[in-house]
A and B are shown apart, each in its own frame.
Chain A
Amino acid sequence: DIQMTQSPSTLSASVGDRVTITCRASQSLNSWLAWYQQKAGKAPKLLIYKTSSLESGVPSRFSGSGSGTEFTLTISSLQPDDFATYYCLQYNTYSQWTFGQGTKVEIK
């Protein structure tokens, strides 16, 4: 089974800051990684798929990068609406999907 390690678990930042969240996989994902944003009491929202493809309607301040086993979500300039919890998802296989543990982005 593929394990995902996401860091940090909590991140304190200010509006305008550049924010980076990392996910590491226990084996190569061949770019099959997505990022989601979740706000309290709501369903997750897709931000990024296939490592770096921006979902339609998602602001361009969100970007994804990486390859193999290490992947990054970057928010170039944090906005008030971005305070939320972020999850990575690996979808490299057809029989198992794995989320990272989540990163809560809090107001500093």
Chain B
Amino acid sequence: QVQLVESGGGVVQPGRSLRLSCAASGFTFSTYAMHWVRQAPGKGLEWVAVISYDGSSRHYGDSVRGRFTISRDNSKNTLYLQMDSLSADDTAVYYCAKGDWERGLTGYFDYWGQGTLVTVSS
């Protein structure tokens, strides 16, 4: 069965960096686009970033573009999110999610991880 397990969350000071990981199993990771979605405490869902199945295409939400970098290592079945210049507004649970369309970039999210909490605070 599909499993997505995020890690790397924690408390970080404003202006610092953090890298999240998402370990995937139960499907052919190298053939699906992957996403990061976040949810601030008590708020709704916000799409953060997408990376194509082969890493050749990446897109970001307006609020993180230029500060966050999505990447993947298909040999390790792992997705990453490098977060730089963090601010309190980045405090959220970060979910990784699998795209539904094999070798496609668009599509909905059919599986989600359990999330990892990032708290930006001094």
Residues on A facing B (Cβ under 8 Å): 1, 32, 34, 36, 38, 42-46, 49, 55, 87, 89, 91-102
> Contact residue range for chain B?
20 to 34
Residues on B facing A (Cβ under 8 Å): 35, 44-47, 50, 57, 59, 61-62, 95, 100, 105-110, 112-115
Instruction: Kindly identify which residue among B57, B61, B107, B114 contacts A91, using a CB–CB cutoff of 8 Å.
Output: B107
Q: Please name all residues of chain A whose beta carbon is closer than 8 Å to the beta carbon of B46 when the two chains form the complex.
A: 99
Contact between chains at B45 and A102 (CB < 8 Å): yes
Interface-centre pick from A1, A42, A43 (highest chain B CB count, 10 A): A43
Residue of A nearest to B100 (CB): A49
Contact between chains at A43 and B108 (CB < 8 Å): no
Instruction: Kindly identify which residue among A1, A55, A97, A99 contacts B44, using a CB–CB cutoff of 8 Å.
Output: A99
Contact between chains at B108 and A34 (CB < 8 Å): yes
